[in-house]
Every structure is written in structure tokens, then in C-alpha cells.
Chain A
Amino acid sequence: ETGVTQTPRHLVMGMTNKKSLKCEQHLGHNAMYWYKQSAKKPLELMFVYNFKEQTENNSVPSRFSPECPNSSHLFLHLHTLQPEDSALYLCASSKTIGDYGYTFGSGTRLTVV
């Protein structure tokens, strides 16, 4: 375990489904991040949360809806996704938003059919 736990590890969903990805950390970190990693592409930063407040939305389509109820938990709600949204979704956390010591979760491998 890396200290950042993501569930589920794998997810297959239809384009009309609604699902949620969960990320949890008990490292005492206050900043949390969602990254998307598609094949042959760099990790793309999607959202940043600092003390459960969203500080960055990197022009992510509204079919991705993040939620951060507290500093330890981060969700990514998915609805009406497209096949090109299939990717590895990685959650990370850091002590503060100005700290570059990120701890990554193992990721959720999402397939949209």
C-alpha cells in the first residue's frame, strides 16, 4: 500500500452509466490531486484541492465531477463518458499545495465501452 488508496482498481462502464472513483489518504496531507494518464500521453493534471477547496480545474469536461468532502477523501464522479475517456486515473496527495513531495495511489484503470 502506498498510503494513498484508490478504489476500484479496475472499472468498465457504459457511456450512459454513472460511477464514482474514490481516493483516500491518512497521511495527514492537505492537498489532493486527480491526474489522467492515457496511453502514449503524459499524466494530465485534472483537479487540485487544498484543504478540501478546489483550487484548479484544468479545463476538464463537466462529465467529470470532483468532490472533496474532507482533506482525506477525494472522489471523481463520472457520467456519460466517452470511449476516449478510457485511461488510468491517478490520485495523489501532498502535505501542502506548495509541497512537491507527492504520494500517488495505484490508480483506477477505467474502460468506457
Chain B
Amino acid sequence: RKEVEQDPGPFNVPEGATVAFNCTYSNSASQSFFWYRQDCRKEPKLLMSVYSSGNEDGRFTAQLNRASQYISLLIRDSKLSDSATYLCVAWHGSSNTGKLIFGQGTTLQVKP
């Protein structure tokens, strides 16, 4: 079983739509969670961290449910520039060891 699982999509949505991505993780020891964005043929870049209390950054809202080991990302009012692959990421470790574990990514294509 993959440590971090995502629906690869693609999700094809019109501009202005609201779209939600989900992710599950298998290691209950994972401590921190993130969404990264990866544009075609580019490196991953941190989009936002994910907290149990929810985290909102403009049109983006991330949520963590530790009991269900489930993470979500909601994008409101989609823009063409939101087209990318969104990577769900878990981190587990301590002050002297740790690593990021990536999901396969969910591809979003926003159409005019």
C-alpha cells in the first residue's frame, strides 16, 4: 500500500469552478502535512501546510482529519493558472531525522 494515496485524475473543470482533492495516508506516525504544486516539467513547490484546524490561503483551503488519516485541498473560483499537478505530502521524523513522503499527485486542468 502506498504511504500517501491520491486520485491521479485528471480533473477537468471550467474557470470559476470549485474543485476538491482528497488524499489519505497510511502512517499514523506522520506528523506534518503539505500540499505542493508541480507545473509540467518543473520542480515541486510548496503550496501550503495542512492543519487539523484548517488552513486557508486566498482561494485555497486545506484540511486534515487525523482520525481518518485524510487530507483535503479545496480550490475556489478556479483560474487557468491553477492548472498543475497537486502533490499531497506527509512528513515524519524527529529533530535529527525525517523525510517527506509524496503522493502520486492529482492533475488539474482548468478550461476557459
Contacts and interface: CB of A to CB of B under 8 A. Distances in A.
Tell whether A pairs with B.
Answer: yes
B62 interface: no
A43 interface: yes
B96 interface: yes
Given A104-B45, A106-B43, A97 B97 contact: yes
A104 B95 contact: no
Contacts of A107: 42-43
Given A35-B102, A43-B102, A105-B43, 12 more contacts: A40-B104, A41-B104, A42-B101, A45-B101, A96-B96, A97-B93, A97-B96, A98-B98, A101-B46, A104-B44, A107-B43, A109-B41
B interface bracket (residues with beta carbon within 8 Å of A): 20 to 34
B32 A100 contact: yes
A81 interface: no
Contacts, number: 57
Nearest to A41: B104
A107 to B, nearest CB: 6
Contacts of B102: 35, 42-43
Which has the most chain A C-beta neighbours within 10 Å: B45, B91, B97?
Answer: B97
Given A100-B34, A105-B43, A42 B105 contact: yes
Interface of B: 2, 4, 8, 32, 34, 41-46, 87, 91, 93-105
Q: Chain A binding site: helix, strand, loop or mixed by DSSP?
A: loop
Contacts of A55: 97
Nearest to B6: A42
